[in-house]
Structure 1
Amino acid sequence: MAVANIPVLDISDPSQDEVRVARDLVEAAIEHGFIYIKNTGGDIPIDAVQGAFHLSKELFAAPLEEKQQCRIQKNNKGWAGMQYESLDPKNQRSGDFKETFNFGEFASGQPQQPIPPSITHHTSQIDTFYDHCYNLTLKLNHLLGIGLNVNPPTFFRDAHLRANGASSSILRLLYYPSLPMTTAQPEANVRAGAHSDYGSLTMLFRLPRQPGLEILLPSNKWVPVPVSPPGTGSDPAPPILVNIGDLLSYWTNGLLRSTVHRVVFNGGENSVKGETDTDARYSIAYFCHPVGTLPLTAVPSERVKGFKGKGGVKEEGEEKVLTADEHLMMRYV
């Protein structure tokens, strides 16, 4: 049974050659659009990841009336119930089989949105985990700058710095209830419809042996993405899965690939040995966006300028330069 052949990188080992790691990251982003990052606690403490999953289970177990008081707003923050979101409306007759809760950035340690009373005692924990994710995406963006020979190499990192303005970055908790496989209605087996992500980078945290994620290959074949690929089974936690979003693909003229993916019920030819969806599935995603007012001007990299992909940033003066928020709003339409 074929599975996604996604590279596994270790970016936390300080003894490694940073330039080599950066180039490996870029090549994986070009070829696959997805990269596994070993999760050994060097960048985000393992207990922080485990604590975030415990909090997620507590949140989704909260009374419905509590969650309804925190319904998702136009700013993309808050709770969305079962089948609220439809990521692939052209091919889905009903919404995704999942619940979500989106957290925006905190201010002075306080949430800028309603939070269910059941988890208010976890406010500091949420803020800290959000910061861990933010800092790791800064590191990843810096490595991309090095790997693409951007001048200066801090170009992408600086574009995401809080000190330079607010962004639309979101920490999302996800809950997929365990539901029986239905062969009469194949579309009902989709937990999250086929889509590509909107922003710069997405970091996805998953629990051991909880399957469902698939990516679409250029051959138009869906293949599963194992939670723990070969060589990571003895790690203290599954690797963090990083993928390129539409904005970063656009910004690099399509050089970095934004790959279509979905979440399904595990079964049939796409079953991964050792993974089962008998129980509910939980995952945590951090959607990284640049500063909202940032103009998406041409990346100062000869490799990016020399790549003539479909779409992407044009030469200065050819057309209106989009800001990061304007690019995001185009996806929301």
Structure 2
Amino acid sequence: MPEENPLKVIDLKNPDKQQIVDDLLEAAQTQGFLFIDGHDFSQKEIDELLGLSKKFFQLPTLEKAKYPIDETNKGYSCLRSEKLDLSEEAKTSGDPKEAWNFGDITFEDGKPHQDMPLLFKDPVNEKLVETVNKKLYHVILESLRYLSIGLKIEKAAGGEHWFANKNRPNEPNGSILRFLKYPSQDSFDSSTLIRAGAHTDYGTVTALFQFEGQEGLEIYANGWKKVPYISSKYPGSAPPLIVNFGDQLSYWTAGILKSTIHRVQFPESSIRDKKDRYSIVFFSHPEHDTLLEPIPSDIIRAAKGRGANNTADGDLLTARQHLDNKLNATYFRK
């Protein structure tokens, strides 16, 4: 029996633009998660991206280890090197997953700027990654534009372009395209079901590509709820993106928009079939020097400080400072 879908599905091709605004704002305020259909990704394109991800993780460990994740969040992180659940109740060891992060991206051309294995320098693979980065950038900005309309951001401050003005394509930013591999249940103690511990995301917006049979994402909304695989309404299109909102957007909106706790638990199908789980996710961050100050909107002012603490010694944090703080905790840095 199919899993019940707890998330609203928003179609960016809906001719009723006010409906998009209303639905997006409601989802952002209530659950912090939603599906976005009507994007520009084909199933073929995303299948090719998944194939590239699998090829990378099949590289010898010593080859992957030549590109360790750095202080700017680019490169390879090995098994157990990252820990997302920092609560006292969580186990002390890191999460049982591997990851590759493309970062330092210029979105005019979609190019990541970092040292990479030859696999990613192949012209066909290189073009694929660049195209995906550009499309993700635009679908995120389109979604943020609808949110800015719903939040009634003051025209004098940029209005519906407020977010775009803080996400210029070629300015230094913390955005990351991430390949993930969660090794099969055979590789670990059978009691280890959690693959990515409970956490909120650090940036503005996160977009996750779905693959059939690769479920496992769960969100916390009055208990843990599974997010199922669903298909696009458009033939030949990739499935709807799973989109959620991160800490930075919650700060900007004084907590009106939710940064929801979520985790990855190995799906029953992967346990039964003893197969690895793969995921591809995009974390959108604004320009590094962006201050995490309240959005200029009467709706936000009325919230009266409901947001999380985003100050350092009384000063507002920049997007870069906030990200650095989170990464230092995640990767056990002092």
TM-score range, shorter chain: 0.7 to 0.9
Is there any run of 5+ residues in structure 2 with no aligned partner, and where? 329-334
Specify the alignment match of 2:266 in structure 1: 265
Give the match for residue 326 of structure 2: 331
Moved more, 154-163 or 134-143: 154-163
Q: Secondary structure at the match of 1:70?
A: coil
Aligned counterpart for 2:175 among listed residues 157, 169, 179: 169
Aligned to 1:12: 13
By how many angstroms is 1:223 displaced?
Answer: 1.5
Alignment deviations for residues 47-90 of structure 1 (CA, whole Å, 9 cap, x no partner): 32222111111111112221111111111000111111111143
User: Would you say 1:226 and 2:208 are equivalent positions?
Assistant: no
Query: What is the aligned counterpart of 2:293 among 275, 292, 297?
Result: 297
SS at match of 2:181: strand
* Correspondences of 1:190-269 after superposition (within 5 Å): 190-217=194-221, 219=222, 221-228=223-230, 236-267=237-268
CA displacement, residues 153-190 of structure 1 (integer Å, 9 cap, x when unaligned): 11112211225x211000001111211498x874x211
The equivalent position to 2:56 in structure 1, one of 54, 59, 67, is 59
235-244 vs 68-77, which moves further: 235-244
Q: Which amino acid aligns with 1:76?
A: N
Distance 1:34 1:277, change over 3 A: farther
1:1-333 alignment to 2 at 5 Å? 3=4, 5-13=6-14, 16-38=15-37, 40=38, 42-89=39-86, 90=88, 91-106=90-105, 111-121=112-122, 122-151=125-154, 152-163=159-170, 165-180=171-186, 186=191, 188-217=192-221, 219=222, 221-228=223-230, 236-267=237-268, 278-308=274-304, 310-312=306-308, 319-333=314-328
Q: What is the DSSP-based 3-state SS (H/G/I as helix, E as strand, rest coil) of the residue aligned with 1:326?
A: helix
Task: Indicate how the Cα distance of structure 1 residues 277 and 171 shifts in structure 2: closer, same or farther if over 3 A, else same.
Answer: farther
Residue 240 of structure 1 aligns with an amino acid whose one-letter code is L
Cα gap change, 1:181 to 1:223, in 2 (>3 Å):
farther
SS in 2 for 1:56: helix
Structure 1 residues 87, 154: CA separation in 2 closer, same or farther (over 3 Å shift)?
same
Return the TM-score normalized by structure 2: 0.85
CA 1:99 to 1:304, structure 2 compared with 1: closer, same or farther past 3 Å? same
Provide the C-alpha distance between the structure 2 equivalents of 1:128 and 1:22, rounded to a whole number of angstroms: 27
Answer whether contact 2:250 2:307 (CA < 8 A) is retained.
no
2:331 alignment partner in structure 1: none
Q: Is the contact between residue 103 and residue 176 of structure 2 (CA under 8 Å) also seen in structure 1?
A: yes
Q: Do 2:174 and 2:288's aligned partners in 1 also have CA atoms closer than 8 Å?
A: yes
Matching residue of 2:332: none
Percent identity, aligned pairs only, is 36
Distance in structure 2 (CA, Å) of the matches to 1:55 and 1:312 = 38
For residues 74-107 of structure 1, what are the alpha-carbon distances to aligned partners after superposition, in whole Å with 9 as ceiling and x for unaligned? Answer: 1100011111111114302322121100001445
The Cα of 1:235 is off from its aligned counterpart by: 7.1
| CA displacement 1:193-245 (0-9 Å, x = unmatched) | 1110000000000201212111111x3x112111217x869774321000000
- Per-residue CA deviations over 1:6-57 (Å, capped at 9, x if unaligned) read 10010134xx12222112101101001001011x5x4233332222111111
Query: Is the Cα contact below 8 Å between 1:210 and 1:275 reproduced in 2?
Result: no
8 A Cα contact 2:253 2:307, kept in partner: no
1:160–1:233 Cα change, 3 Å: closer
Contact 1:104 1:168 in 2 (8 A): yes
**1:307 Cα shift?**
1.7
Which deviates more, 150-159 or 193-202?
Answer: 150-159
- Stretches of structure 1 that go unaligned for 5 or more consecutive residues are none
Structure 1 residues 149 and 276: alpha-carbon distance in aligned structure 2, compared to 1, 3 A threshold: farther
Change in Cα spacing, 1:66 to 1:57, as seen in structure 2 (3 Å) is same
Q: Is the 8 A contact 2:42 2:237 kept in 1?
A: no
